[in-house]
Amino acid sequence: MSAAALRRATKESVSGLPRAFWWLWASTLVNRLGAFVATYTALYLTLERGYSASYAGLVAALHGLGGVVSSLGAGVMADRLGRRPTLLIAQVSTALSVALLGFMEHPAAIAAVACLVGMTSNASRPAVQAMMADIVRPEDRVRAFALNYWAINLGFAISSAAAGLVAEYSYLAGFLGEAALTLLCAVLVFVKLPESRPERDTAARRSDEPETGLGTVLRDGRYMGVVGLSFLISLVFMQGSVGLPVAMGMDGWSPSDYGFVIAVNGVLIVALQIPVTRLIEHRDPQRLLVVSALLAGYGFGLTAFAGSLGVYALTVCVWTLAEIVNSPTQMGLVVRLSPVHGRGRYQGVYTMSWSAAALIAPLMAGYVIDHFGAAWLWGSCAVIGTVAALGYWLLMRALPPASPTAETPSPDSAVPAAAEPSERSEKTGA
């Protein structure tokens, strides 16, 4: 591709998105530049503190449990209180709890504060995802979610390499650095981001749109099927941050070695997310989700044969391609199935699938590695990926095509109008 063609493709990928989206994008980037705790807690506990893989898995599981607890509440807050206040509360609380975790020494205290960190850090996700759906036109959402995921991994690629070096000298500096950047993210949200929650009084006059509560979400069979499949695929992807560092550490690799390998994930997403999204944006989501699930499962499965940093990096390349395809495609599907005035709750339940995976994945990794060996963990990932692929194929066979013009954000407020009745009935499962 020529330089002119590359510039044109880049311009087309980023054009047409509202200003508020780019401030939200910037806050995501700043937040992920400080992603130390999620990446290095396992190494901190096993190498620095000398705890077992099972204890490291327990702490990571409590981190996930905190996310499970907060996901539903944060989704309700995003709908009732608003996206912006929810983000502010979550980010300030995250900064304080992450800083506190760095000073904990007793095993019980570490576990308790890790649970608090999981609760606060996951509370921002439903608000971010609901706000993005509010301010971006339906036809641009896959691209917007891809760009946001690109920001996540640009920050992750930088922070992984830098934090690996920091961890060689001071884990505490890593905790405090993440706290500082999260506070900066909160300031950015406060200064630059407007509230995007759709006005409730407009919908109240529409008798054909039922009130959306958590019970509505849980009774939506098709949507809960997506949530269940998200849990399975998340269970696999989580092993990159919980199973892989422990397995590499037990094989004699250093934190900087793991930092190099996992940075490949971020670098590839930064390099490929935008061009790959341009290729898949208007393709069949069923096929994309099936293929991504298989790549994820068997990408991690190949880790059983890794004996050098080069092979580890190669396996990361395989499951990274799965991430690049799965993330924007699945997020587009989630928004497509969510009613406009229930997006916070729907996104909260969706976020809960990742939080539940964050609870189960470390327990699974610690138990399997300690009792059977890492090879069994990677084989299990291949099986789970295959099951998820079959589930996506079955779930989406009867899904009608999306209508990209069913809702259009207001040019002044960037708040979408209510969905048409036919689309809304699909979203609520009616």
Q: What is the pLDDT of residues 170-206, one digit of tens each?
A: 788 888 888 888 888 888 888 888 888 887 655 444 5
All structural domains of the chain with their residue ranges: 20-193+214-402+416-428
pLDDT tens-digit map of 94-150: 999 989 988 888 889 999 998 998 888 888 888 888 888 888 888 788 788 888 888
pLDDT of 344: 83
Q: State the pLDDT at residue 217.
A: 83
Question: Cβ distance 104 to 62 under 8 Å?
Answer: no
- Confidence grade of residue 430 (pLDDT, cut at 50, 70, 90): very low
Could you tell me which residue, 218 or 388, shows the higher pLDDT?
Answer: 388
User: What pTM did the predictor assign?
Assistant: 0.70
What is the spatial distance between Cα 51 and Cα 70, in angstroms, rounded to a whole number?
Answer: 27
Band (427; pLDDT cuts 50, 70, 90) = very low
Average pLDDT over residues 308-329: 91
Angle (CA) 347 352 357, round 5°: 135
Distance CA 197, CA 81 (A): 9
Average pLDDT estimate for 140-166: 77
Listed residue (240, 231, 218) closest to 353, CA to CA? 231
Q: How high does pLDDT run on average in the chain?
A: 80
CB crowding 275-304: b at 16 or more within 10 Å, else e = ebbeebbeeebbebbbbbbbbbbbbbbbbb
Q: Is the pLDDT of residue 277 over 50?
A: yes
Burial class for 161, CB neighbours closer than 10 Å (0-12, 13-18, 19+): middle
Amino acid at 34: G
Q: At residue 54, does pLDDT exceed 80?
A: no
Give the C-alpha distances (Å, rounded to integers) separating 227 from 74, 139, 215, 232, 349: 17, 23, 15, 9, 7
- The pLDDT, as a whole number, for residue 203 is 47
Confidence bin at 383 (pLDDT 50/70/90): very high
Task: Specify burial of residue 194 (Cβ count, 10 A radius: 0-12, 13-18, 19+).
Answer: middle
b/e map 357-395, b = 16+ CB within 10 Å: bbbbbbbbbbebbeeeebeebbbbbbebbeebbebbeeb
197, 291 in Cβ contact below 8 A?
no
Lowest mean pLDDT among 51-55, 130-134, 231-235, 241-245: 51-55
Of 342, 335, 343, 326, the residue nearest 404 (C-alpha): 335
pLDDT, greater one: 384 or 218? 384
Question: Which tokens hold the place of 85?
Answer: 């206040």
Q: What is the pLDDT of residues 1-51, one digit of tens each?
A: 555 655 665 666 677 788 888 888 888 888 777 666 766 777 788 777 888
- What are 138's two structure tokens? 């339906």
* pLDDT for 379 beyond 80: yes
Instruction: Decide yes or no: CATH 1.20.1250.20 for domain 20-193+214-402+416-428.
Output: yes
Confidence of residue 410 (pLDDT cuts 50, 70, 90): very low
For 134, residues 6+ apart whose C-beta sits below 8 A from its C-beta are 83, 196, 197, 198, 343, 409, 414, 415, 416
Q: For 347-363, what is each residue's pLDDT tens digit?
A: 888 888 887 887 788 78
In angstroms, the CA 401 to CA 339 distance is 16
More confident position, 409 or 13:
13
**Contact criterion met (CB below 8 Å) for 246 and 56:** yes
Instruction: Tell me what pLDDT residue 424 has.
Output: 31
Rounded to the nearest 10°, the torsion over CA 392, 393, 396, 402 is 90
Checking if the pLDDT of 413 tops 70, the result is no
Q: How confident is the model at residue 342 (pLDDT cuts 50, 70, 90)?
A: confident
User: Which amino acid appears at position 70 of this protein?
Assistant: S
φ, ψ of residue 105 to 5 degrees: the values are: -125, -35
